[in-house]
Structure 1
Amino acid sequence: MNSVDYIQISALNQYSYCPHRCWRMFCAGEFVDNNYTIEGTSLHDRVHTLGEGHRDETWQVRAIYLKSEQYHLIGKSDLIEEMDGCCYPVEYKRGHKGEFDNDEMQVVAQALCLEEMTKQPVTKGYIYYAQSHQRQLVEITDELRKQAIATIQAVSTLLETGKMPSPNYSKRCQGCSLYTQCLPQAATKVNRYQEN
């Protein structure tokens, strides 16, 4: 890994959603709330009440910190569950399942930390969507692991160099709280103008 100290697990989610958004949040220190981020913060305030207990046959612990020395990751879990000797992360998200895979990267990063901390393989995780009250299974496949490791490296490079990725307009921009800071459509027009 590069000389970056530790990468926030949530940075993988942001980078997978949009590298420019990740740069704004973790390099430039910019953040703006919108209704989606406020709902998400409210959900995590409820979820991040430290505690542990059993639910049926499943042991649960909330709001513990996860860390990986190998991947230089650190972050707070929403929920870790253990059943039949196997641990797995459960990441809480507002809304319902979206069409993008950025939430999966956050779950895989948590699984990598859990594996290192427990010395046990983590083969699955879940994303709990509050609006639909449904869990989505995330199978921690070799392909997802490779994708997460590549994303960790990309975020590490981003943090180390501080080089701003170009904003690119896509459907993802519609719900982004940093849209007015980024103005990706304006950047595209400026780039087109400069090319002519």
Structure 2
Amino acid sequence: MRDIRYADDELLSLSGIQHFCFCKRQWALIHVEQQWADNLRTTEGHFLHERVDDPFFTENRGDVRISRACPLVSYTLGLYGIADVIEYTRSKEGVSIPDCEGRWTMMPVEYKRGKPKIDERDEVQLCAQVICLEEMFGVEITSADFYYYEIRRRIHTDMTEELRQLVYALAEEMHHLFREEITPPAQKNRKCSLCSLFDVCMPRLTKKNRSVETYIKNHVRDACTDTNGEL
């Protein structure tokens, strides 16, 4: 655990760490500049979470208790948010939780619309949830699960020390950019076509070392070529 602790008015959205891991510019457009746009993927994601996020719903299955839309906060990460589902399993090695007899271990389950990613954007979000729970309840959680809607199954994920250190590093950089109101320049790559903010970001225009003047000249030249067949 880091020595630094953030105040309440410094807390950032936990879900943003996924955006930040995917693209720092995307995160800044949403969380620093307050811009947002939906596409099919984000709309489907909202619909899926609406089915999960009922804070008044709990379900008991024998020695397993399921709670949904659980508030989370970590003052060492400086993040707050909501866990889709937390599964509590009755265990002598667990901890006490409000309104429940006995002792329980806990594990967050994060719901995703798609399938497992090739990068760590999903894992850092889930690990941040784990760190929140550990800090809030004084427990140690070594693993957590995803449920991917596209493949209709759960994926078990270990909370390694390397993953935890990545989460702390990302959170620290998020706070720096937010505090300084910095929006990083675009780094155009294959991920851009998946982004709902493509038209807001304009990666061709805002890419580092590419001036607006050069962009406009090239745009005019292309337009003239398309119209006249020559410059």
TM-score of the alignment, normalized to the shorter chain, above 0.5: yes
- The amino acid across from 2:119 in the alignment is F
Which residue number corresponds to residue 89 of structure 1? 108
* Aligned mate of 1:18, from 23, 28, 35: 23
- Distance in 1 (CA, whole Å) between partners of 2:11 and 2:166 is 19
Q: Does 1:142 align with 2:142?
A: no
Greater relative contact order (CA < 8 Å, ≥ 6 in sequence): 1
State whether residues 21 and 121 of structure 2, in contact with CA within 8 Å, keep that contact through their aligned partners in structure 1: yes
Distance 1:190-1:147 versus aligned 2 partners, 3 A rule: closer
- The amino acid across from 2:114 in the alignment is G
- Distance in 1 (CA, whole Å) between partners of 2:148 and 2:19 is 17
- The amino acid across from 1:62 in the alignment is R
1:29-53 Cα deviation digits (max 9, x unpaired): 0000000000000001111012212
- CA deviation after TM superposition for structure 1 residue 190, in Å: 6.2
Length-normalised TM-score, structure 1: 0.92
**How many residues are matched?**
194
- Distance in 2 (CA, whole Å) between partners of 1:66 and 1:152 is 15
* Aligned mate of 2:74, from 68, 71, 80: 68
- Measured on the aligned residues, the alpha-carbon RMSD in Å equals 1.9
- The amino acid across from 1:6 in the alignment is L
Length-normalised TM-score, structure 2: 0.78
Q: Which blocks of at least 5 consecutive residues in structure 2 are unaligned?
A: 95-104, 216-231
Q: Does 1:179 align with 2:185?
A: no
1:54-99 Cα deviation digits (max 9, x unpaired): 2354221100100112222110110011224321111111011122
State whether residues 58 and 66 of structure 2, in contact with CA within 8 Å, keep that contact through their aligned partners in structure 1: yes
Q: Which blocks of at least 5 consecutive residues in structure 1 are unaligned?
A: none
Q: How does 1:1-196 map to 2 (within 5 A)?
A: 1=4, 5-50=10-55, 51-83=57-89, 84=91, 85=94, 86-188=105-207, 191=210
Larger Rg, first or second structure (1 or 2): 2
